């Protein structure tokens, strides 16, 4: 039972990691998660060895049991033969045939069982080994090179999924975001908003040229991107660990409790954490399922205030928040932008989130169709105005 529970925990951990694979890639924490899985694998190996030792002892008892009853059968047969009930030759012949038959059959069953298991494991191994390497984590780029400033530039960017190369998700995107600007991205579902920010954070490979701080993405390592760019997805990635460690997730240095508390305050989650049993040492379930959706999003946003990235990308990161919490967090993000010069790129279906943006980019069918401030776009006939009117209705 312990072995089965450990395997179940391992499976749960893998599902958890796969669910947050983009966050892991963006924060360059693959080695940390690899070490965590390695530790769990070692626990599983030790329990497997205990299991095999127990099975070896069981097999030993089984063979002793077979030998005991074999001797017993021979003794009874000899007794019956001495009384004339059966002949000695009949007993010995039947017994020898029986032992000669069961021995090879038992061994053949064991060999076939092990062979079948090995074939399954070998197929799984070769399928994994044939998977292509993640381009964003390959040894590309110049180690130690970082963006020169907080600007983002896209030149003739085109993107399509490898499975459907003829269906462009992004088509000839040209965009220049100056350092320290707050840019909003709006548009209907499926217009390419999320694909655009994935391309910017080197999570999807696209044609064209993408520069962060004047440096092409190809010249930046995953480690450099994780230190300078923060991506907060709509569905936050939380691990089965304490609240403290979840807020510190992705940090490459030791973080004090006071820093974590300040980040939680800015994310408007400090009061909720203090009400939990153990406070910042409260243990979250896998995926943070013992918290509400809004609490999970605010913990993910607390990481941003702790990290203070040069470029911040929000993919509907406040969709589960009430208006009051969203406004407070929005104010803290704008304050961080002014103090640190952070460039903010925000995707939002709720257009009120984008009212304070320096510029809003409206996308449709993989193209930029409108640009301007909230008031400018609201007063001009077009997709943005239609979306705004639809929300008001």
Confidence (pLDDT) at 86 = 79
Q: How far apart are the C-alpha atoms of 142 and 111, rounded to whole Å? A: 52
Question: What strands, in cross-sheet order, belong to the sheet with 343-347?
Answer: 229-232, 311-315, 343-347, 182-186, 359-364, 367-372
Closest CA to 311 of 189, 246, 217: 217
Q: List the pLDDT tens digit at each of the 393 positions of the chain.
A: 777 778 878 888 888 888 888 888 888 888 888 998 898 899 889 888 988 888 888 778 777 877 777 777 777 777 888 888 877 777 777 677 767 776 776 777 678 767 877 877 787 788 888 888 888 877 677 887 889 999 999 999 999 998 888 899 999 999 999 999 999 999 998 899 999 999 999 999 999 999 999 999 989 988 899 999 999 998 899 998 999 999 999 998 999 999 999 999 999 999 999 999 999 999 998 888 899 999 999 999 999 999 999 999 999 988 888 888 999 999 999 999 999 999 999 998 888 889 899 999 999 999 999 999 999 999 899 999 998 887 543
Please enumerate in sequence order all residues whose Cβ is within 8 A of that of 28, keeping only pairs 6 or more positions apart, or say none: 137, 222, 223, 225, 226, 227, 250
CATH 3.40.50.300 is held by the domain 144-392 = yes
- Would you call 39 helix, strand, or coil by DSSP? helix
pLDDT of residue 11: 84
Q: Which helix (H) or strand (E) holds 128?
A: helix 88-129
Residues of the chain with CATH 3.40.50.300: 144-392
Using CB atoms within 10 A of its CB, is residue 179 exposed (0-12), middle (13-18) or buried (19+)?
middle
For the entire predicted model, the pTM comes to 0.75
For strand 367-372 and strand 359-364, is the pairing parallel, antiparallel, or unpaired? Answer: antiparallel
CATH code for the domain defined by 2-129: 1.20.1560.10
Place of tokens 């983009």: 22
Cβ atoms of 81 and 91 closer than 8 Å: yes
Domain with CATH 1.20.1560.10 in the chain: 2-129
Q: Is 153 helix (H, G, I), strand (E, B) or coil?
A: strand
Separation in Å, CA 314 to CA 84, 148, 170, 226, 319: 93, 22, 19, 15, 10
* Contacts for 115 with CB less than 8 Å, ≥ 6 apart: none
């Amino acid at each position: 039972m312990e072995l089965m529970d450990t395997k179940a925990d391992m499976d749960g951990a893998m599902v958890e990691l796969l669910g947050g694979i983009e966050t892991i890639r963006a924060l360059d924490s693959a080695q940390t998660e690899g070490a965590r899985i390695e530790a769990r694998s070692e626990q599983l190996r030790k329990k497997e060895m205990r299991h095999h030792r127990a099975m070896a002892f069981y097999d030993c008892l089984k063979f002793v049991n077979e030998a005991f009853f074999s001797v017993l059968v021979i003794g009874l047969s000899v007794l019956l033969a001495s009384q004339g009930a059966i002949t000695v030759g009949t007993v010995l012949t039947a017994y020898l045939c029986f032992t000669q038959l069961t021995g090879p059959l038992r061994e053949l069953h064991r060999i076939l069982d092990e062979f079948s298991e090995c074939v399954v494991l070998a197929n799984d191994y070769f399928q994994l080994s044939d998977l292509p390497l993640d381009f964003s984590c390959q040894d590309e780029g110049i180690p130690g090179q970082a963006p020169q400033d907080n600007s983002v530039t896209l030149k003739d960017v085109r993107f399509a999924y490898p499975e459907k190369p003829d269906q462009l998700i992004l088509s000839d995107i040209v965009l220049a975001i100056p350092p320290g600007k707050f840019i909003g991205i709006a548009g209907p579902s499926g217009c390419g908003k999320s694909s655009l920010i994935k391309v910017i954070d080197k999570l999807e490979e696209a044609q064209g040229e993408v520069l962060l701080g004047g440096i092409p993405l190809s010249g930046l390592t995953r480690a450099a991107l994780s230190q300078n760019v923060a991506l907060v997805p709509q569905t936050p990635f939380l691990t089965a660990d304490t609240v403290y460690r979840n807020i510190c997730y992705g940090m490459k240095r030791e973080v004090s409790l006071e820093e974590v508390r300040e980040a939680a305050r800015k994310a408007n989650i400090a009061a909720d954490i203090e009400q939990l049993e153990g406070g910042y040492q409260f243990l979250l379930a896998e995926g943070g399922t013992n918290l509400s959706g809004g609490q999970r999003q605010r913990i993910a946003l607390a990481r941003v205030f702790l990290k203070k990235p040069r470029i911040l990308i929000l993919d509907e990161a406040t969709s589960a928040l009430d208006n009051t919490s969203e406004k407070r967090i929005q104010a803290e993000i704008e304050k961080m932008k002014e103090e640190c010069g952070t460039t903010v790129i925000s995707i939002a279906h709720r257009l009120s989130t984008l009212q304070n943006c320096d510029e809003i980019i409206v996308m449709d069918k993989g193209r930029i169709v409108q640009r301007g401030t909230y008031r400018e776009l609201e007063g001009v006939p077009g997709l943005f105005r239609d979306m705004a009117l639809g929300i008001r209705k």
